[in-house]
Amino acid sequence: MKQVINNLNVNKSIMIVMFVMLWLIPGIALSQVKDHCGCFITDANTIGLWHFDDPLDPGYDSSGHGHHGIVYGTAFATGICGGALKFDGAGSVNDYVKIPFHADFLSEQMTFEALVYITDDIASPSQLIIDMYGDAGGPGRQLALETGLFPYGLCDTPGADPHYECISPDAVPIGEWVNLALVFDVAG
């Protein structure tokens, strides 16, 4: 049984995260794009955009919706075009960004993106990058890396079947910036 958490967490991993972006686009896919700057601007579909590039306010949401995050236990690092947050992966909850839950995150069509730089393989079966759950009984969304650095996506609605999972056949390379994207549309 999954624990339902009333927030969106950008969890620790052995990586540097440049940004996380949530936007509303229909479809279902999991992709990796290399050599992408990550310096995004918002449009009408953007519901959250965290660049993590300001050492004075790394959890700032530049989408205009005010979904600002609180940063716990991370270090500031150099990103592709600006700053980034570095997560050490040393503990289960010692470094993460907590973004308070909002109804904006309940859409049945959404895309999660994270620009990541992996420094080593993961030791546990799964390393969460984004872990989003609403109130008890609400939908769950996850973007993670499995052992071997294979990106994994989950879209789950408690009490309903099916829940959707996908795993990329391509591992994330160590020592390169990679843009991971999880696109889902549970309504269609």
- For residues 117 and 99, give the distance between their C-alpha atoms in angstroms, rounded to a whole number: 21
pTM value is 0.71
Q: Poorest-confidence range of 4-13, 27-36, 45-54, 158-167?
A: 4-13
**pLDDT at position 163, please?**
67
51 confidence band (pLDDT: 50, 70, 90): confident
User: What torsion do the CA atoms of 183, 175, 17, 28 make, to the nearest 10 degrees?
Assistant: 0
- For residues 146 and 51, give the distance between their C-alpha atoms in angstroms, rounded to a whole number: 24
Q: SS3 for 109?
A: strand
- Is 131 in contact with 4 (CB distance < 8 Å)? no
The pLDDT mean for the chain works out to 69
- Phi then psi for residue 104, to 5 deg, are -55, -25
95-153 pLDDT per residue, tens: 778 888 788 877 777 777 888 888 877 766 667 777 776 555 566 777 777 877 877 77
Q: SS3 for 132?
A: strand
Domain assignments of the chain as residue spans, ordered by start: 7-185
